[in-house]
Amino acid sequence: MTSAQLESLMFSTMLLGVFLLIGMFIRAKVSIFRKLLIPASIIGGAVGLILGPSVLGKTGINLIPQDWVNIWALEPGILILPLFSSLPLCNFKDDHDQKISAMPKRKLYSVLMTGFVKGPTFALQMFFGVGVALLIQGFFPNLFFYPGFGCEMPHGFNGSHSLAGVLGGVLRDGGRDYWEIAQGVGLCYATIGLLGGIMLGIFFINRAIKNGKTQIVTEKTAFSDNVTYGYIRRVSEQGNLGRETTESSNANTVSIHLALVLIVSFMGYSLRAYFKYMKFGFLSDLPAYIWSIIIGYVVNYVMNKLRLGWLFDKKAKSIITGVCTDYIILSAMASINIDLIASYMVPILIISAVGFVVTYFMTFVAFSFFMPGNYAFERAIAGWGTNTGFAATELALLNIVDPNFKSPVLEELNLGGIIFNLKDIIFVPLYLKYIVSGEPYAILMVAAVEIVIMYSVCFVIRALDRKEQKKEGLAVK
């Protein structure tokens, strides 16, 4: 890399920081953005897009060099490596932590059911996203779809703008020349999912309260000012960024955590490079972030055994995760090539509509069926938030119907997340393999297998729970 290239990287990234601050200001001043809880990174990225070559540049006013936009397009695929590498790290267990295996049976069934009911939604979105795209192409054979079109919907809906950026990076690493289009399409789905998820989520909440479906909140409520404005002015209400585990005169705490994340990222990247060099087929096809996640679990296990919880802190690590997420979204939004994705807007809207319908049935209807009377709506609205947006949407919607998280829902969602991690290690590599190779029918097959397995387990757990209810003399629901 030359000094000129390094300067372009630094200056273009600095400009993204300016856009982030502009996004903060706009959200605070524009009520519709506050009501819809649009993150500052998305607003700022949209500002960058408008000021860039794709919009303002069409008028002949070139404020942002195309080289900078090209850098932004590459950043999501790079920043996703430390983002995913950090997820398994700093999850230390204290002696007083309750182990899943030691839980009472009904509590265990509730945790498992929460995870297995919520778990297959990504697969269902994948199945219908790719399936509907194939149907559209069947009716309109002259409409060009690149291989695997439709797989962007679950990535955009489930992982929002971050996972949409991942998809582009994976396709780019796989040598697919349509990676930039797929990334742009994924970002469209992410925006539609986030906006629609919030608006429909609030509608569902108000309807559920009116019909007596909620178990904690019985009247309409609203988001707090801290949530809507996106910042906390009262110093007494502000949280902390984590424990300072090192003396700043020696090494900054965040620097130590960043070093750990980068080491795991490098190990994942190196392992994939080795497999690729050795031509190990399927293993070399997997993106580096998959290997980084696996290595991260191993590293976290070792640190647990060595009792290094005093040196590494989950909140301090989350600073790195948050920064990566914000800049992934900023760079991905600002680098959308509108011309490339314009011809796909009608199929995108059709598939998005199908995605919302599928997600509704596989959250609200599924939780009502499998977990009646056990905070079914509260679990469903949280699942809806995750499966149309991201974790912040889940928490915001859940907090309306479960203020201060008094119910066991949030705890059980977090514990049930273990199921996501385990099944994703198996299924995500398969999805990515066939997405990169452009085999839509193989994608459908993997999705179908995951759906069958996950719901089969749901029925088994439901039967065991009903049996336990009878044993305890409770009314079976």
Both tokens of 85, joined, read 């590498």
Listed as ranges, residues in the chain with pLDDT below 70 are 1, 93-103, 221-223, 418-421, 473-477
For the packed helices 3-29 and 314-334, what is the interaxial angle rounded to 10 degrees?
100
Residue 250 CB-density burial (10 A; 0-12 exposed, 13-18 middle, 19+ buried): exposed
| SS3 annotation, 163-174 | HHHHHHHHHHHC
Domain parsing of the chain, residue ranges: 3-224+244-471
pLDDT attached to residue 302: 93
Q: Is 12 helix (H, G, I), strand (E, B) or coil?
A: helix
Distances (CA, A) of 302 to 261, 305, 442: 15, 5, 37
Q: What does the alpha-carbon distance between residue 78 and residue 44 come to, in Å, rounded to a whole number?
A: 20
pLDDT attached to residue 96: 45
Both tokens of 237, joined, read 């209400």
272 close to 291: Cβ distance less than 8 angstroms? yes
DSSP 373-439: TSSHHHHHHHHHHHHHS-HHHHHHHHHHHSGGG-SSHHHHHHHHHHHHHHHHHHHHHHHHHHHHHT-
pLDDT attached to residue 219: 73
Q: What's the pTM?
A: 0.81
Q: What is the DSSP letter of 335?
A: T
Q: What does the alpha-carbon distance between residue 29 and residue 177 come to, in Å, rounded to a whole number?
A: 40
Single-letter amino acid, residue 152 = E
3-state helix, strand, coil in the chain (%, to 5): 75, 0, 25
pLDDT attached to residue 475: 60
Q: What is the DSSP letter of 265?
A: H
pLDDT attached to residue 95: 45
